[in-house]
Chain A
Amino acid sequence: MAPVADDLVIRIVRKIFPAVANREAQPVLSDIELRVEPRSFVVLTGPSGVGKTTLLNIVAGLDRDFEGSIQFAHTDARVAYIFQTPRLLPWRTVEENIALVLPEGDPRHALIPELLERVGLTGAASQYPERLSLGMQRRAALARGFVLEPDILLMDEPFVSLDDPTAQGLRELLIGLWNKRPTTVLFVTHDRTEAVMLATRILRLSGASATIVQDEAVQLSPSERTDREKVLAEQQRIFHDT
């Protein structure tokens, strides 16, 4: 099969955490071969500690100590990463934090006001992050990711440790942003309902040296994703649980 030029291809033959003082070397990931179509929303699930974040870090280029290769659609593919914690610079305002990821004089600076409005932070643009709630900080981190107009958007449990309504609001915000400008997303979560709501494709990682044990397309239309019953039924179909 001829490779499609636009795919993101992830090949991880082996990833090992090297031995440290009182712990032996630990295999984390092995035999992962993954082809991600452009503009698909891929959710990675699996028990905590299985290596989901490690996989994202490898794709992001933060972890280069592995056997395998990551192939982007083109060499200067733009990658945005929304981390588990917002990782905003506390000494820069919300607006400065977002503007910082763009080179000076970049035309994308013009997107900032609209993005701020979409994430509901127009009034907080000149605030310092630590004066905002966690939910607002996460929205700022979302805006920072989207302003880049990334080719690949990596998200590592970005809505964890928020109360349900806030997390739900952010999920809807993410869907809105993604519909407006679809991009390839790799999204890590262990929340199965969240996975079904967001994903076009779900991958399940499992094992001591984890590999992909399940690869499933989500069969929901955009309107069905806000329907609790439909989401639950799909969740049951994919995970065989309640």
Chain B
Amino acid sequence: MQRVSVAALAGAYPAWAIRLGWSIASLVGFIVLWEVLADIIQHRHLPGPFTVLQAMGHELSSGLLAYHIAVTLARVAVSFVVAMAIGASIGIALGRHKGADRFFDSWLILFLNLPALVIIILCYVWFGRTEVAAITAVAINKIPNVAVTVREGARSLSRDLEEMAEVYRLGRWRTLRHVTLPQLAPFFLAAARTGLSLVWKIVLVVELLGRSEGVGFQLGTYFQLFDVSMILAYALAFILVVQVIELAILQPIAARVNRWRR
């Protein structure tokens, strides 16, 4: 039997090609396992990958998939921006002012541990099943996370650079832009990345409970019909979209923000 050593392979191909190869192999392995299991179990509650793909194609051609994903993405975008803006402001304020931090710290912990579902239900009860209530619920779930992450950044701001900015009279706006924000950028980025995955999961729940369009609503509908292939089709489509956002938007931003590092 002939054996090919990994080292020999590594020498022949560039690192990214090997990484890509492994990714494809692992993905193919997953699909094969899924297909085999579906074949053995032979139940309509576990459709194989091709059935799911067919369902996805059906929803795609009817335009429903694109519509519901677009609606959900819009909600993700709005609540993400709102949560980042408010959370970052709170984080910076608490990081800079010790007194405020001491007072509001327990509030933060309270909100961090408040179950997402409770916030969603309360928002719908208090503000009605409206778009604003939905966005608010998602944002409130995310704000404490952003605040805690950005607070760490604000605490570690360099006093040295602040003094430099003061002596050279950079002024408020230029200090913020050139001195403060670049120091906070890695913390924003960390909050954004964990934030995106959290926000889109919560948006689905919000849609399931109180909206009549969006991926979450569709999942609810197909759940009542026990149509597992459709549920998987929507889930898969959404995972793909979020991956594209990560690769096409977040990673290039991260590379740009970190380009000065050695």
Contact = CB atoms under 8 A, between A and B. Distances in A.
Interface of A: 60-62, 79-81, 83, 85, 87, 89-92, 100-101, 128, 130-131, 144, 148
Interface of B: 160-161, 163-164, 166-170, 174, 178-179, 182, 185, 259-262
A8 B110 CA distance: 55
Given A83-B160, A83-B164, A130-B262, A89 B170 contact: no
What does DSSP make chain A's interface, helix, strand, loop or mixed? loop
Contacts of B167: 60-62, 79-81
A100 B160 contact: no
Given A80-B167, A100-B174, A100-B178, A89 B262 contact: no
Contacts of A144: 168
Given A87-B160, A87-B161, A89-B182, A130 B166 contact: no
Contacts, number: 47
Contacts of A148: 168
Contacts of B259: 128
**Interface-central residue, B164, B174, B185, B261, by most chain A CB under 10 Å:** B164
A144 B168 CA distance: 10
Given A62-B166, A80-B168, A85 B160 contact: yes
Given A92-B178, A101-B170, A130 B163 contact: no
B171 to A, nearest CB: 9
Given A87-B163, A89-B182, A90-B261, 17 more contacts: A61-B166, A62-B163, A62-B166, A62-B167, A81-B168, A83-B164, A85-B160, A89-B161, A89-B179, A91-B185, A92-B182, A100-B170, A101-B169, A128-B260, A130-B261, A131-B262, A144-B168
11 contacts: A60-B167, A61-B166, A79-B167, A81-B168, A87-B160, A87-B161, A89-B178, A89-B182, A92-B182, A92-B260, A144-B168
